[in-house]
Structure 1
Amino acid sequence: MPKPRADMGNRVSTVLARQLGSQLLGFRETAGLNQTQAAQALSAQASKIAKMEHGWVPFRDPDVVALCSAYGVGSPDTVDALLRLAKLDRERRRAKGWWATSLTQGSLREYIAMEDVALRLRTWQLALIPGLFQTPEYMRALSVAAVSPDRIDEVERLVDVRVRRQRRLHGDNPLRVHAVIWEAALRQMIGGPQVMRQQLEHLCSLAEMPNIDVQVLPFRAGVHLCGGGPFNILSFVESGALDVVHMDGLRSTSWVEGAEESAAYTELFARTCATSLSPYDSLRVMESVAKGMNE
């Protein structure tokens, strides 16, 4: 399916809607129906099916149920998962969160809106502590290095945005996070020894929270499979087919969409976990590295 433009008139193509549209497209093709035939189930024109499959419009629950019936999708769990995704997308489109006015980068606004409704995050980091785990001092050190001198006033805004995102780690329904961090990220001197020691101590505290798991991939593991760069996997329902993968940068994000692509990253993450230290042993390593940070 061709990648859609970011907007079309008053319509907006969202990541969640494209994910749902991709699922329905796959079911339609398996059923051997074209868009005109599928549209008959909705008493609509083929153009409506095209807009839905490209994520241009929010999904109505009756439309999702009718299409699943027409495509022969008989599993109640599958239909329920699709309905939940449709609801999440409608909520995301209506959301007027703090990020709507705090950010100028549309792609980052899209990610934070999705992070706000996600159930779980799996993250792999090569050289940096995951953003949701960073202390303000660590963030400032990164931001100063990334922002040009004539835009240094943006640093505090970038720090504020990331601190606000960290609220998802707490509360009645906290985000579940599983982070795998290469040992290099623990030892890279960001902001100096004091900043790094405080950062690692903060990381150790987070690792003991019930909704957070941290594993360290040690140097001694040798060649690893995730050398291509850091990535995150957001999950919205318990079905892995509805995961969305994103590449998170300091100021922007890019998406990897589709069931096959997300499944490949899920497998890659699982294999990296298997070669990493256990959460208990990882905590001991993080504590040791923190103690070794000298002024």
Structure 2
Amino acid sequence: MAADEFRRGGSVSTVLARKLGGELLRLREKAGLTQPQAAEALSATAPKVAKMERGWVPLRDPDIRVLCDLYGTTDPEVVGRLLKLARTDRERRKAKGWWNQYPGLHSLVEYVALEDIATNVRTWQSAIIPGLLQTADYARALAVGNGSWEDPDEIEPFVESRMTRQGRLKAENPLELWAVVHEGALRQLVGGREVMHAQLSHLVDVSRQPNVKLQVLPFLAGAHPGMTSAFTIVSFAEPGAMDVVYMDTSSSTLWLESEEDAVRHNNTFERIARGGLAPRDSTALIERIRKEL
């Protein structure tokens, strides 16, 4: 899907709501129940359930609890995550949540809101350091070099928002991050030698965190399955939960939300990772590049 939100009349379908609706649809089908049966439990109509499952309407906590009971979903962690996803979607629609303080995020707002409640992120980047691993100076240099900002005053809030995102890596329940970065991104002098030296030092430091796995795909790997595009896979805790694939291009934001797309990109990511250096060897290469600076 090539947009963060879809509009139909006065309704809006958001990435967050589609994620939540898709999870409820999966649980309903797993329980062998129909939309009319779900509607009866909610004292609603089948078309309303269909809208809920397609992300067209925000979901209330009582409705989620009723549906979870109906579908036999009793794990408090699963129910709690669905409730949090619904709350995040409602906050997003009402322009609440910390990410809405930063208008410079633009199309990234939906992604950041989803990342904020994810448990696992896998990202392949061929040209830049992943946002969760960037230093402030590197992020600032990227923004300046991009040259597409209508208001330069938005750059600093954008950098601040990127640093806020990184708090997930050190939270009480930290985000699990697996990043594969092409060697070319490490050698590109974004911001100059001093900025890149500090950025590479930061990569070495953060790679020591137990919830961060960092690999480098070296030039010597030759042709590989990630040459056409970079992408990020956002995942959630329980088995069977649907992954969401995010791709950001110069002209649009692309969300891939089907199970088929998730499986294909997970397979592609694993193939890229197999061609990458082991984490220890990746760190050694980063340190060698840093010393060259």
Give the shorter-chain TM-score range: 0.7 to 0.9
1:55-134 matches, cutoff 5 A: 55=55, 56-58=57-59, 60-65=63-68, 68=71, 83-95=79-91, 96-103=96-103, 107-134=107-134
Structure 2: any 5+ residue segments left out of the alignment? none
Give 3-state SS (helix, strand or coil) of 2:229's partner. coil
Give 3-state SS (helix, strand or coil) of 1:181's partner. strand
Query: Could you tell me how far 1:175 is from its partner in structure 2?
Result: 1.4
Aligned counterparts of 1:138 and 1:41: Cα–Cα separation in 2: 52
Distance 1:238 1:220, change over 3 A: farther
Give 3-state SS (helix, strand or coil) of 1:254's partner. strand
Aligned to 2:19: 19
Give 3-state SS (helix, strand or coil) of 2:124's partner. strand
Distance 1:285 1:119, change over 3 A: same
* 8 Å CA contact 2:225, 2:272 repeated in 1: yes
Query: Could you tell me how far 1:42 is from its partner in structure 2?
Result: 3.8
Aligned to 2:234: 234
Give 3-state SS (helix, strand or coil) of 2:143's partner. helix
Query: Could you tell me how far 1:28 is from its partner in structure 2?
Result: 6.2
Question: Is 275-284 or 82-91 further displaced after alignment?
Answer: 82-91
Aligned counterparts of 2:90 and 2:58: Cα–Cα separation in 1: 13
Identity of aligned residues (%): 45
Query: Could you tell me how far 1:82 is from its partner in structure 2?
Result: 5.8
* 8 Å CA contact 1:133, 1:203 repeated in 2: yes
1:98-247 matches, cutoff 5 A: 98-103=98-103, 107-148=107-148, 151-239=151-239, 241-247=241-247
AA partner of residue 58 (structure 2): V
Aligned to 2:48: 48
Give 3-state SS (helix, strand or coil) of 2:52's partner. helix
Structure 1: any 5+ residue segments left out of the alignment? 70-74
Distance 1:64 1:94, change over 3 A: same
RMSD: 3.1
Query: Could you tell me how far 1:209 is from its partner in structure 2?
Result: 1.1
When the two structures are superposed, what TM-score results if normalisation uses the length of structure 2?
A: 0.83
Distance 1:10 1:173, change over 3 A: farther
* 8 Å CA contact 1:140, 1:156 repeated in 2: yes
Query: Could you tell me how far 1:160 is from its partner in structure 2?
Result: 1.5
Distance 1:249 1:201, change over 3 A: farther
Query: Could you tell me how far 1:32 is from its partner in structure 2?
Result: 8.7
Give 3-state SS (helix, strand or coil) of 1:209's partner. coil
Aligned counterparts of 1:225 and 1:7: Cα–Cα separation in 2: 35
Aligned counterparts of 1:165 and 1:187: Cα–Cα separation in 2: 25
1:284 has 2:280 as partner? no
Aligned counterparts of 2:249 and 2:200: Cα–Cα separation in 1: 21
Question: Is 40-49 or 228-237 further displaced after alignment?
Answer: 40-49
* 8 Å CA contact 2:234, 2:244 repeated in 1: yes
